[in-house]
Chain A
Amino acid sequence: MKLKSPISEYRVQLWTRRIKNFWLDYSHNKIGLVGLVIIVGFVFTAVTSPWLAPYSVEEVRPDALKYNADGYAVPAWYPIFFPATANYPPQHELKLNWSMAAGELPQSLTANGSGRSFRVYYDANITGSSDPVEAVFVSKFEYPYKYMRIFEMQFTYNPRPESFVEIRRFIAGKWRVIGTTGSMLWKIEFELVRPDNATFPFWDNNWERNKYVNPHALPDFSDDATGDTITLISSDRTLPPKLGYEAWETSLMTAHLFLKPGEYLVRAKITFKPPDDIPVEEAAGSIEISNFDVEIRGRIHGLLGTDAFGHDVWSQLLHGAAISLLFGISSAAIAVSLGILVGVTAGFVGGAVDEVMMRIVDILLCIPVLPILLVLIAVFGYSLWYLVLIIAIFGWQGLSRVIRSHVLSLREMAFVECATASGASKGYIILKHIVPNVLPTALASMVLSVPGAIILEAALSFLGFGDPLAPTWGKMLQNAYAFGAFSPTNLALWDILPPGIAIVLICMGFVFLGHAIDEVVNPRLRRRR
């Protein structure tokens, strides 16, 4: 059995007493308690952000392709204060269900299916006529919102001719089959009908015919007609001219299309006719329309709306906490370690070493950090951990001075002289006597240098010199500033204020905490109150 040595037991007692005393003093410090609460709150947020945040880091990064809603969608609670936003559409997708329009189908057409997809069959043999015949399907949906800015439509059509005719060409003295073509001509037209019956024909193809040409590998080609998936985005400049608007009037067009709440109608008109190079009786085939979806970009979204790229601000805010904390604390920790190293060495070794170190500190202290950081980043590249390092490298000078003078005074103290006299090695004295005594000061200084690091990182991000992929608060502010959050049309307060306030709050937390610790460990400062 190993006996606990009385010395180590004494040490434990000493430290428990110290910590108890520390807490006694600290808990009387109101500012300190406020700071502690703030920091604990942020730590909690940082730890739980993967679960608290509605979207993951990757989903809300500027390079993420998917939208959470429209750019600068207002927060969900905005209508309480700004009634004008009450009718904004949330992000949602309409899945259109089809049914046949009232009235008889022409004889040569039959149709089957309803709901998400339908297919229209054509057989000219039934009437023997070569006139075009059309089938109309409609889909109704309720749209109770106003002020839509962007929508996205997607549908698939799938034409399937009954048979194929060979295409022959006279090549190198011989008739050869170079492809096939389908046994029908077809046309699809879509129209949007507003509740007031205004009609907007937003998409059609001209007469088309399936054609498969393969001039080289004869006659190996597929006869399976795969359809096509069409995506229409209202913010695309191709749509407005079709409806009689100027190309840039995308928002105006959208606003006109979805002018007011009510029952809207999408009408699909499918027309067939026989091609003229085959006998009329052979003209036959079918077309399927399926999966017609309309995605409405939400203009009202979540707790804090969206940023310029349509990404959830609340999630970004939560994810930013972890990065800020990690960044601030780690760069402060590195800086403080450097500061202790230099301070203790300079103070303990003294002489020329001290002189040289303190000269270097003097010079570094009056260097403007930001311009240098900008150059270093431009030269060596952008990465969060690299930033941590260089911010730390420029952050230890002040502390090393304080530590040095502290060490100088400690060196004169009785217990250190006792240790020296009783033959303790320098390393032992530094580790056992000097370092533990400068630790409280260092702790206060570390806490106090966290805000500096956080603010510096935010400033760098804001200037576009941060890690482009890290969702930091500075980056959020940069995006807000660069992409129109301040323009009177957007006035995206939800994208400007939260990241800024978060930076201020977390920094205040550390300032208060550090201030309080400083006052507890340096009672001299208490006289300042």
Chain B
Amino acid sequence: MELLKLQNLKMYYGTLRGDVRAVDDISFTMEKKDTVGLAGESGCGKTSAMLAILRLQPPNAKVSGEILFQGKNLLKMSDSEFRKNIRWKKISTIFQGAMNALHPTLRVGDQITEAILAHESRSKQEATEIAGKLFDLVGIGSERLDRYSHELSGGMKQRTMIAMSLACNPELIIADEPTTALDVIIEAQVLKVMKELQEKLGLSMIVISHDLSMIAETCNKAAIMYAGKIVEFGGIVKVFTEPLHPYTQKLIAAFPSILGSMRELASISGFPPDLLSPPPACRFHPRCPYAMNICRKEEPRYIEADQNRYVACHLVSR
């Protein structure tokens, strides 16, 4: 059975100038032990999608569609049921920018134990032991449990977040740009930790990132987002080696590959659209080199092009 299935998920932010269509009708499915990479330009709605799944959207946001988690629709659940049974226990997160995601005046250890105590009937001591083990697991060392977040380095904070996300043995972890703010060395460390944990614990994850190489390294499926829509979804190898959507092609071409052959970096001309009033029909058409008449008139459907390969482009659906 699928672990998570998004169906026609939409999230609009209501503003004075109109709705910002940050997530506009996206669908994908992931199985247990899948690691899905969600990639796209800045501002295309990745974080918004994640917030919608966690029901953490700000008050001005409107969410519709279906989020089926282990067959249950998360959007239909009552607040308290969702809070008690899903949050952190089933789905936990690693937030973008760990420096702000940790409480400044609470000890990091307490922040982890508090999550455990909230969901599992354990004594304070047991919770502290678990937290210590998690700290050892992510390579910080349990002696740092009583530090404050400002006393930790950026990498340690990120690893603290990872440890925290593991606190209640969740079924799914959503990591929003877990390595963006880190330098290359630390990033490598954090990635290593993540990969190890994945192997050790058999985690299911959604990894959000701009960094295609990181997605290539950690994920087995990839979803490419453009202007609030998923334009391509499929197995990581297929998507990266035979991209179907022009945007995916461009994105991959624009990315330097250290091990790959030296080639000229391509750039995508034009700017990402304003989600207040995105281009009609296919949102990519103003920047697409293959744009046809139909692209300006009709929105491409999101179809299964191949087994487990989804794409939304007139080039393919024709």
B235 to chain A, nearest CB (A): 40
CA distance A70 to B17 in the complex (A): 59
* A58: Cβ under 8 A from any B Cβ: no
Which residues 16-31 of A sit at the B interface, judged by CB distance below 8 A?
24-25, 28
* B56: Cβ under 8 A from any A Cβ: no
A308 to chain B, nearest CB (A): 52
**Count of chain A residues with a beta carbon within 8 Å of a chain B beta carbon:** 4
CA distance A28 to B14 in the complex (A): 14
Collect the chain B residues with CB atoms within 8 Å of residue A24's CB.
16-17
CA distance A378 to B295 in the complex (A): 79
B139 to chain A, nearest CB (A): 34
Interface string of A271-310 (1 = CB under 8 A from B): 0000000000000000000000000000000000000000
A327 to chain B, nearest CB (A): 35
CA distance A24 to B15 in the complex (A): 12
Collect the chain B residues with CB atoms within 8 Å of residue A25's CB.
16
CA distance A527 to B58 in the complex (A): 9
A175 to chain B, nearest CB (A): 107
Which residues 507-527 of A sit at the B interface, judged by CB distance below 8 A?
527
B15 to chain A, nearest CB (A): 10
Collect the chain A residues with CB atoms within 8 Å of residue B16's CB.
24-25, 28
Collect the chain A residues with CB atoms within 8 Å of residue B17's CB.
24
Collect the chain B residues with CB atoms within 8 Å of residue A527's CB.
58
Closest chain A residue to B58, Cβ basis: A527
CA distance A145 to B291 in the complex (A): 94
B116 to chain A, nearest CB (A): 31
**Interface size range of chain B in the complex:** under 10
CA distance A114 to B58 in the complex (A): 91
Interface string of B1-32 (1 = CB under 8 A from A): 00000000000000011000000000000000
A29 to chain B, nearest CB (A): 9
Collect the chain B residues with CB atoms within 8 Å of residue A28's CB.
16
CA distance A122 to B225 in the complex (A): 120
A182 to chain B, nearest CB (A): 93
A156 to chain B, nearest CB (A): 76
B169 to chain A, nearest CB (A): 34
A116 to chain B, nearest CB (A): 74
CA distance A195 to B28 in the complex (A): 103
B131 to chain A, nearest CB (A): 32
CA distance A265 to B186 in the complex (A): 108
B41 to chain A, nearest CB (A): 19
A33 to chain B, nearest CB (A): 14
A483 to chain B, nearest CB (A): 52
Collect the chain A residues with CB atoms within 8 Å of residue B58's CB.
527
CA distance A24 to B16 in the complex (A): 9
CA distance A471 to B155 in the complex (A): 66
CA distance A457 to B17 in the complex (A): 41
CA distance A527 to B59 in the complex (A): 9
A178 to chain B, nearest CB (A): 98
CA distance A24 to B17 in the complex (A): 9
CA distance A461 to B17 in the complex (A): 47
CA distance A259 to B17 in the complex (A): 72
Which residues 168-224 of A sit at the B interface, judged by CB distance below 8 A?
none
CA distance A107 to B16 in the complex (A): 100
Which residues 23-50 of B sit at the A interface, judged by CB distance below 8 A?
none
CA distance A527 to B17 in the complex (A): 16
Which residues 58-85 of B sit at the A interface, judged by CB distance below 8 A?
58
CA distance A25 to B58 in the complex (A): 20
B262 to chain A, nearest CB (A): 30
Interface string of A20-53 (1 = CB under 8 A from B): 0000110010000000000000000000000000
B57 to chain A, nearest CB (A): 13
A509 to chain B, nearest CB (A): 23
B100 to chain A, nearest CB (A): 14
B6 to chain A, nearest CB (A): 27
B88 to chain A, nearest CB (A): 25
B77 to chain A, nearest CB (A): 26
B223 to chain A, nearest CB (A): 29
CA distance A28 to B58 in the complex (A): 20
Closest chain B residue to A520, Cβ basis: B16
B34 to chain A, nearest CB (A): 35
A286 to chain B, nearest CB (A): 89
B274 to chain A, nearest CB (A): 14
CA distance A302 to B17 in the complex (A): 50
Interface string of B90-102 (1 = CB under 8 A from A): 0000000000000
B14 to chain A, nearest CB (A): 12
CA distance A28 to B17 in the complex (A): 10
CA distance A214 to B303 in the complex (A): 128
A418 to chain B, nearest CB (A): 20
CA distance A527 to B13 in the complex (A): 13
B276 to chain A, nearest CB (A): 13
CA distance A157 to B17 in the complex (A): 83
CA distance A25 to B17 in the complex (A): 9
Which residues 469-528 of A sit at the B interface, judged by CB distance below 8 A?
527
Which residues 246-305 of B sit at the A interface, judged by CB distance below 8 A?
none
Interface string of A352-385 (1 = CB under 8 A from B): 0000000000000000000000000000000000
CA distance A527 to B16 in the complex (A): 13
A296 to chain B, nearest CB (A): 62
B20 to chain A, nearest CB (A): 13
A315 to chain B, nearest CB (A): 44
Closest chain B residue to A28, Cβ basis: B16
CA distance A25 to B15 in the complex (A): 10
Closest chain B residue to A29, Cβ basis: B16
CA distance A527 to B15 in the complex (A): 12
B50 to chain A, nearest CB (A): 19
B208 to chain A, nearest CB (A): 23
B93 to chain A, nearest CB (A): 21
CA distance A465 to B189 in the complex (A): 69
Interface string of B192-217 (1 = CB under 8 A from A): 00000000000000000000000000
Closest chain B residue to A21, Cβ basis: B17
B48 to chain A, nearest CB (A): 16
Closest chain B residue to A27, Cβ basis: B16
Closest chain B residue to A25, Cβ basis: B16
CA distance A72 to B310 in the complex (A): 86
Closest chain A residue to B17, Cβ basis: A24
B94 to chain A, nearest CB (A): 23
B277 to chain A, nearest CB (A): 15
A331 to chain B, nearest CB (A): 34
A21 to chain B, nearest CB (A): 9
A250 to chain B, nearest CB (A): 67
B51 to chain A, nearest CB (A): 15
Which residues 122-175 of B sit at the A interface, judged by CB distance below 8 A?
none
CA distance A43 to B17 in the complex (A): 32
CA distance A527 to B61 in the complex (A): 13
A257 to chain B, nearest CB (A): 70
A130 to chain B, nearest CB (A): 103
CA distance A431 to B58 in the complex (A): 38
A489 to chain B, nearest CB (A): 56
CA distance A28 to B16 in the complex (A): 8
CA distance A140 to B16 in the complex (A): 75
Q: Which 5 A-B pairs have the closest CB atoms?
A: A28-B16, A25-B16, A24-B16, A24-B17, A527-B58
A/B interface sample: 5 pairs, CB < 8 A: A24-B16, A24-B17, A25-B16, A28-B16, A527-B58
* Interface set of B (CB-CB < 8 Å, partner A): 16-17, 58
* Interface set of A (CB-CB < 8 Å, partner B): 24-25, 28, 527
